[in-house]
Amino acid sequence: MHQRINGINVWGEPLLNAVEQMVAVSEDAVCTALMSDHHLGYHVPIGGVVAYNGHISPAGVGYDIGCGNQGSMLSTQLPGIAGNLDWFMDEIFSKISFGVGQKNNKTVEHELFDRSIWTEIPLLGELKDLARKQLGTVGSGNHYVDLLRDEETDQIWISVHFGSRGLGHKIATHYMKLADKNNHLLDVSTEVGQEYIAAMQLAGDYAAAGRDWVSQTVAGIIGGDIIYTVQNHHNFTWKEKHFGGDYWIVRKGATPLFPGQESIIGGTMTDATYIIRGVDSDEAKLTMYSAPHGAGRLISRTAATGRSKYGKKKHGPGLVTQEMMDERIVTAGVVLRGAGRDESPHCYKNIDEVIKHHEGTFEYVYRLIPIGVAMAGKEVHDPFVD
């Protein structure tokens, strides 16, 4: 259930700085909502849903255009891999490219590079080579490749989380500079507004193609076939019909969840990931048919580690010690590769509580338990992560 605070529909425990940020955004919006995983973001809170009339917000979508999750069920079950889980995770960590502005170990061919849009918008032509080299790279921050098991059947799943890498980051940077300096918006009826929409859609397709390639590659390592997939963006804009009108809906750290639509909601490295399906209800309408995208941060990276961004300045010991993180990982029985204290489960909200705040807007499909997690190492800074 939600509560209404200063005109904002809020799910979960309200974080007042995020609510205040959304109040400022709402001055130019038709409607807003904050999902239960919300926290302060750049211009628009993470977990924010904003409806605009005739405008679009590059800052609202953010730098990691098309960031999202893909969940893939394999034909493999846990007994088939349990004895070799360490080896599988080593292979995943070595074959998939994690980290700083990383290029893929191999060139990935994809039909999206044949689209005419690369030559129609000069900026995209300048970025095409970078995009080719980075397709299928995961990056750093909270981006990951997970192995999970269905808690009821022990079916193995792959879950990946990342976006459009340097392509999306540079598109976002370019169009943010062209947006209105007062409200950060672009008019969709203008040439620059239409350009951004086209570039954003390309970046979204690029992100999805990367997640699909990584999932297929991991499936090959495991030796199973992908038999079911669910994928979504949670940093994107869609034109949708709500409240009797057509609006541009920005979801930043929130995922679409229309009636009958399935979505994947990622947990932490020790907590469950959910596959859910949207239902129609008055509560769902108020979310603009949206759902949280994950657990949502409780503790900033600086507070967790005691170091400023990129670890250049030390502020203290940090709230999360390596021993705390190691104990949580061992207790959960997760095989971890990479990751730093800033991604410890201690830094995040309880995913089960986050999900429960939205009951009445969805039905459960699968609950997945992590058994293996691969992320960029703690020493990594990635300029292309939002």
Q: Point out which residues pair with 161 in neighbouring strands.
A: 69, 144
Question: How is residue 177 annotated by DSSP?
Answer: H
pLDDT value at 308 more than 90? no
Question: How many C-beta neighbours within 10 Å does residue 153 have?
Answer: 11
pLDDT digit string, tens, across residues 33-78 = 999 999 999 999 999 999 999 999 999 999 999 999 999 999 999 9
In the chain, domain spans = 2-377
pLDDT tens-digit readout, 235-248: 999 999 999 999 99
Q: What is the pLDDT of residues 320-369, one digit of tens each?
A: 999 999 999 999 999 999 999 999 999 999 999 999 999 999 999 999 99
Across the range 148-160, mean pLDDT stands at: 98
Band of the pLDDT at 220, cuts 50, 70, 90? very high
In this structure, what DSSP letter does residue 240 have?
E
Q: What percent of the chain has pLDDT over 90?
A: 90
- The answer to whether 364 and 326 are in contact (CB under 8 A) is no
Q: Class of 2-377 per CATH? A: alpha beta
- DSSP letter for each residue of 257-282: --BT-EEEE---SSS-EEEEEE---H
pTM: 0.95
Helices (H), the chain: 16-26, 58-61, 85-95, 117-120, 122-134, 165-178, 191-222, 282-286, 301-305, 322-332, 351-356
pLDDT above 70 coverage of the chain, percent: 95
Q: Is the predicted pLDDT of residue 106 greater than 90, yes or no?
A: no
Using CA atoms, how far apart are residues 295 and 273, in angstroms rounded to an integer?
9
The model's confidence at residue 108, banded by pLDDT at 50, 70 and 90, is confident
Radius of gyration, alpha carbons of the chain: 20
Please, is 23 exposed, middle or buried when counting C-beta atoms within 10 Å of its C-beta (0-12, 13-18, 19+)? middle
pLDDT tops 90 at residue 120: yes
Average pLDDT over residues 242-266: 97
Q: In the prediction, which pLDDT does 375 show?
A: 97
Predicted local confidence at residue 380, as pLDDT: 61
What pLDDT score was predicted for residue 148?
A: 98
Q: Residue 312's pLDDT band (boundaries 50, 70, 90)?
A: low
pLDDT of 167 strictly over 80: yes
